[in-house]
Structure 1
Amino acid sequence: MHVVLVVDHAFVNGGQAKVALDAGLGLAAQGHRVTVFAAVGPADPRLEAAGIRVVCLGQDDVGTAKNKLAFAAQAIWNRTAARRLAAELRGLDPRDTVVHVHAFAKALSPSIGRSLAASGLPCLYTMHEFFLVCPNGGFYVYPAARICHRVPMSLACLGTNCDARSYPRKLLRVVRHAALEHVAGLKDVFPHIITISALQERVITPHLPATTRFHRVDNPIAVTRAPLRSEPPGDFLFVGRISTEKGAPIFAEAARLAGVRPVFVGDGPARAELAARYPEAVMLGWRDEAGVHALMRTARALVFPSVWYEGQPLTVYEALACGAPVIVSDACAGREAVEDGETGYWFRSGDAAALAAHLTRLRDDDLAARMGRAAYERYWSAPLTIEAHLDRLRLVYEHVLRDAGRAGTGVRPALRPAPVPARP
């Protein structure tokens, strides 16, 4: 099989790129031919060492661009990316080639849609976020700090300032989304969509063609299995970006109501304000992966109070794997990993008092330890390993190739076949 991975970045700068590049390395190790097509470098040196062909355009993304006006044009329609991708796909055999797009919104732009459609190759897309269906990528109104239920690109959507920075930036994203829908036809390029949670699939289904086939492929996590702790449970832990949409202020307030000490691992725009308002909070800053897992193994519980649609928050799974119960907002897909009352608790999103009630319950050492054991055992009964991820990917790729073969083209067929069974 030849797998062409299309990504914004050829190096690991976050979860999207890590999932894509780790999968590419795993597929190459299994003997498949892999190509990585990316806009932004430098390329991860592991790719070349693994025999993976890398096409990196050496372009900027929103964070590195010095000429913001030029980058705005690139973000709307990246002509260079479209031309180079078309050249790369030309002549590839549709019988054994799958083009798997992971990201386009940070640098490649919707322009790749035309190149993908012209290639006639089987294509699929992993929905790491919501840029394929939502202009701001999150179904979230940042200034108002609430989930958005407006129809994307409707008059209500266009009139709402939902961007984290400014309304002019929202308008730029609206123009890009118009190009995505009406010029690139990007939604119709992907008859197959990989989702990473049931919540995510439910949110996007009304905004995609009725013939779209969904495939659930959990992202892998890298946690070394270690014996459960023997000492009493420690503090309540928050791990991630310290921001309003991640629910950091809700955790701080709930901890005060419950009379417990909140511990924050991470950084973000709300850190200074929370540190000043809640001096009892412990701000540890960022830790490396091993450091985070060490803290999780001694935590009383992970608190994941996100107030927006999190597709598949891996922090939740990492905590469970480390033997920490999780208290999770019912607005995000993290709840799908938690058995309410068994391996943690759900609480009403945005409700500090409801969260505080669960913090109070888990002050009981015996209850916290019992839930931690249940969390650990449930996770390790079906761990989200890279091997499991690759097994699911191969099944999906084979399904996509068969489907394209029946249709005689990579173009969307008329009927929705039965999906590949999802992970239990």
Structure 2
Amino acid sequence: MVNIDRIVVIHDYSEAEGGAGTLAMEAIRQYRSRGYPVTLITGELSNAPLDALGVSVVGLGSKSLLARSKLEALRNGIHNSATIRRVRAWIDENDTPGTVYHLNNWAQILSPTIYKALRPVADRTLVTCHDFFNVCPNGSFLHFDTSTTCHLKPLSAKCFFSQCDRRSALHKYWRFARHVHLNQLADFDNNPSTFAFIHKQMRDKFVRSGFEAPNTAIIPNPVSAWTSDRIRAEENSGFLFVGRVGRDKGADIALRAARDAGEKITIIGAGELTKDAAAFPNATFTGWLGPEEIADHARKARALIVPSRVTEPFGLVILEAAVSGLPVIVSDSAYLSRDVDELGFGKRVSVLDEAALVDVLKTFAREDDVIRAMSKRATEVARSLCHTPESWADAHISVFSGKLAAASARQEAIASKIGQVATADPCS
């Protein structure tokens, strides 16, 4: 049995720039807490927190696509030669049979070429699918101009002509070309890496879209409660929204629904719709806040509202609220919405029917017994839908160990066959 010598985490950025970045950094912390040596291969350079953890950082010293010139972004976004050169050099100099690789995001700096760079060690690689970029050209199965879900098969003729990109038709065609290149380099159908999905419905969506990688796993995200004690939501008033204040996340839907229901709402986050704050005197806009400040607002709220138009493969805030005892009202575009409804700690709604959403808010505002039951139910069952940070890391370690065992068995089988050939009696 080969033990884990080192874990190599691969991510566009060297800090927690978003949900995927936060999880990449959490993975590093968890791996280090177990004593594993960790190397971060990143599009950027090192930073002090990682240095303090004793993490070895290999940085390309590059920039995100939006920070580059248009020509450079178009070229490097499809094929970043530095990715292959630097990653292959590190593998050639440092790889061992016990080194495993954890690929997170690649779409902003590393480009599809990361899969070519990792080809020699693909059988010891785990790829976490935080979003849909491994199967959908725009990464979200969303028509950004209409804020409606896309049901087209990726890379079909209809997909090519569909103007779904948030920027322009030219950008859509560039994304389409990049995805063709991605499929060529990654060769998903024959790739021995393990692809981890954060919800079963996410894997089902990949499969329906033609993704046929042979090794997959379901590893839900880790969740930490906002509060240690149950939020007594039945004693509170007003609603809470946490996330990017944009149309894709349904911030405008939340604002209109609360206003039309005659209820107050606190908006935690930032985005283009904050410019409309004056139109919603019932709303308090706080900007981005840390976990402790979010907890302060959550302790005063009746429920969390998550009215996303975009498909949410997980929706971390849904379970952060629920495990704290805060009932949730969730768009049916979120994979967790069905779980929320069936387990009884919130309500699944359609963002296409804003009148019905207003009625839900009115019901939540007046039915203390319903809210109390949902709040208690949330603390009892929501944890079953997610990992703790510790159990989440354990799930990754289990995958790594299984891949090392399989790789070791293959090597032993090859050595055995070579030995049988070498000792065979030529006269027999």
Deviation (angstroms), 1:296:
1.4
1: distance between equivalents of 2:213 and 2:67? 38
The DSSP-based 3-state class of the residue aligned with 2:66 is coil
Preserved contact between residue 250 and residue 350 of structure 1 (Cα < 8 Å): no
SS at match of 1:377: helix
Q: Residue 231 of structure 2 contacts residue 375 of structure 2 at CA under 8 Å; is this kept in 1?
A: no
What letter matches 2:44 in structure 1? Answer: V
1:92 to 1:187, Cα distance in 2 relative to 1, 3 A: farther
Moved more, 344-353 or 157-166: 344-353
1:248 aligned partner: 251
- Residue by residue, what CA displacement relative to the aligned partner does 1:66-96 show, whole Å, maximum 9, x if unpaired? x231122111100011111011112555632
Q: 1:345 aligns with which of 339, 347, 350?
A: 347
SS at match of 1:200: helix
Indicate how the Cα distance of structure 1 residues 255 and 382 shifts in structure 2: closer, same or farther if over 3 A, else same. Answer: closer
Question: In 2, are the aligned partners of 1:94 and 1:121 still within 8 Å (CA)?
Answer: no
TM-score by length of 2: 0.88
- Structure 2 CA distance, aligned partners of 1:92 and 1:121? 17
Q: Look up the match of 2:370.
A: 367
Q: How many Å apart are 1:36 and its aligned residue?
A: 0.7
What's the counterpart of residue 235 of structure 1? 238
Check if 1:52 corresponds to 2:45: no
Match of 1:335 in 2: 337
2:133 to 119, 125, 131: 131
Q: Distance in 2 between matches of 1:229 and 1:311?
A: 26
User: How far 1:104 sits from its partner (Å)?
Assistant: 0.7
Which AA in structure 2 matches 1:37?
Answer: I
Tell me the residue number matched to 1:310: 312
Query: Aligned partners of 1:399 and 1:336: how far apart in 2?
Result: 32
Q: Quick check: 2:226–2:291 contact (8 Å CA) kept in 1?
A: no
**Which residue of 179, 186, 191 maps to 1:177?**
179
Partners in 2 of 1:90 and 1:114 — Cα distance? 14
* Of 297, 300, 303, the match for 2:302: 300
Deviating more after overlay: 234-243 vs 177-186: 177-186
Number of aligned residues = 406
Identity %, equivalent residues: 30
Aligned to 2:381: 378
Q: Structure 1 or 2: larger helix share?
A: 2
Q: Could you say which residue in structure 1 is the equivalent of 2:41?
A: 37
Which digits, 9 at most, give the CA deviation of each residue in 1:99-133, with x for residues without a partner? Answer: 11101101000112212113465222100011111
SS of the residue 1:75 aligns to: helix
The answer on whether the counterparts of 1:113 and 1:189 sit within 8 Å (CA) in structure 2 is no
Look up the match of 1:27. Answer: 31
CA distance in 2 between counterparts of 1:408 and 1:360 reads: 64
Alignment RMSD (CA, Å): 2.3
More off after superposition, 127-136 vs 225-234: 225-234
Deviation per CA, 1:346-397: give whole Å up to 9, x if none: 1124221222222122112332233112212334578732111111111121
Please give the alpha-carbon distance, in whole angstroms, between the structure 2 residues aligned to 1:315 and 1:337. Answer: 14
| 1:101 paired to 2:103 | yes
Looking at structure 2, the residues matched to 407 and 393 of structure 1 have their Cα atoms a distance apart, in angstroms, of: 21
133-142 or 354-363, which moves further after superposition?
A: 354-363
User: Relative to 1, partners in 2 of residues 1:224 and 1:156: Cα closer, same or farther, differing over 3 Å?
Assistant: closer
After superposition, the C-alpha distances for 1:275-314 in whole angstroms (9 at most, x for unaligned) are 3443433323222221112211221000011122111111
1:321 aligns to 2:318 (yes or no): no
- Aligned AA (1:226): S
- After superposition, the Cα gap between the structure-2 partners of 1:6 and 1:151, relative to the gap in structure 1 and judged at 3 Å, is same
1:400 counterpart residue number: 403
Q: Deviations over 1:218-268 (max 9, x none)?
A: 222333542234581121111111111111222223223433223322221
Q: Corresponding residue for 2:162?
A: 160
Distance in 2 (CA, whole Å) between partners of 1:353 and 1:240 is 23
Contact 1:123 1:189 survives alignment (8 Å): no
Is the deviation greater in 71-80 or in 87-96? 87-96
Structure 1 residue 192 and structure 2 residue 194: aligned? yes
Task: Supply the AA of the counterpart residue of 2:146.
Answer: A
Residue identity in the other structure for 1:261? K
- DSSP 3-state at the match of 1:284: strand
8 Å CA contact 2:102, 2:126 repeated in 1: yes
Please state whether the residue corresponding to 1:193 is helix, strand or coil: strand
The secondary structure found in structure 1 opposite 2:43 is: strand
Over 3 Å counting, the alpha-carbon distance change for 1:103 and 1:408 in structure 2 is: farther
SS at structure 1 position matched to 2:163: coil
User: For 1:222 and 1:341, how far apart are their aligned partners in 2?
Assistant: 19
Are the structure 2 counterparts of residues 336 and 215 from structure 1 closer, same or farther at C-alpha, using a change threshold of 3 Å? Answer: farther
Tell me by how many angstroms 1:187 deviates: 6.1
SS in 2 for 1:267: coil
CA distance in 2, matches of 1:49, 1:285: 29
Q: Who wins on radius of gyration, i.e. which is larger?
A: 2
Shift of 1:31: 1.6
Give the whole-Å Cα distance in 2 for the aligned partners of 1:381 and 1:113: 33
